[in-house]
Structure 1
Amino acid sequence: MTIRIAIGGLKKEVTERVTKEIGGDKVSVIVTSDFEAAKKIKSGQADYYFGACNSGGGAALSVPIGILGYGNCATVAKAGGKPKADDIEKLVSGGKIAFGMAVESIESAVPMLLHSLFKKHNLE
């Protein structure tokens, strides 16, 4: 199984690089706009969304919330905060599919997200 991750928001190239470095052959990455990414998830062409913005919860998730519903989306790292593996684990196991983070947290939040997703999908 390959987890299909759609990437949108700011610093997409950083999110893409970290996702590919950590995910290897366990992930396929689609870099696009947040609107197109959310549509791909809704239509079954992607499994998860990673997006970044300056705050971690505003622009990174506003479009996915509108398309996928608030209950499917979560901020994993706010500006000035640090992502927590336990919190991310709960969000992933709770069924969230779209994740927002502050641009400053991409390199720490994406590995935590991927490890939680690998655990959920038995890809460890």
Structure 2
Amino acid sequence: MIRIAIGGLRKEEIRKAVKETGGEQVETTISSDFEASKMVQAGKADYYLGACHSGGGAALSVAIGLLGYTKCSTVAKAGGRPRPSEIERLVREGKIAFGMSVEAIEEAVPMIIQSILQSSSIR
């Protein structure tokens, strides 16, 4: 079971995309950015997903502060599109917190979850 902590804007939209992609293989918790990041830091969640209007600011600022810059990545900034190969690389590199613009949630979240599930089945 992969545990996903969700913060930022449009949390329910993120949760829906996570569940539609991961089904019974994922468990989600919606919380504030701070609490969701602390869950990952404490090992109570495996990954953090967050969204904001820009994709690079508030979506990850708390996660970067608590988990460290090297564990976090923006996958889709405002006006940009997520790239599956880039997301797969980030997951392989050990990133555990992902930020995106709200406009990219429907496209980015399934890519992230698929990459996480694929990566966890390889281990």
TM-score range, shorter chain: over 0.9
User: Helix, strand or coil for the counterpart of 2:121?
Assistant: coil
Structure 1 residue 45 corresponds to structure 2 residue 44: yes
Counterpart Cα distance in 2 of 1:115 and 1:14: 17
2:46 counterpart letter in structure 1: D
**Equivalence for 1:114:** 113
**Equivalence for 2:82:** 83
**Equivalence for 1:31:** 30
Counterpart Cα distance in 2 of 1:116 and 1:81: 19
Runs of 4+ aligned structure 1 residues displaced above 6 Å come to none
Structure 1 residue 97 corresponds to structure 2 residue 96: yes
Unmatched tracts of structure 2, length 5 or more? none
RMSD between aligned alpha carbons? 0.8
Counterpart Cα distance in 2 of 1:53 and 1:21: 21
**Equivalence for 1:3:** 2
1:9 counterpart letter in structure 2: G
Over the matched positions of the two proteins, sequence identity in percent amounts to 59
**Equivalence for 2:13:** 14
Please report how far the alpha carbon of residue 65 of structure 1 lies from its aligned counterpart in structure 2 after TM superposition.
0.2
Residue correspondences, number: 122
Please report how far the alpha carbon of residue 9 of structure 1 lies from its aligned counterpart in structure 2 after TM superposition.
0.2
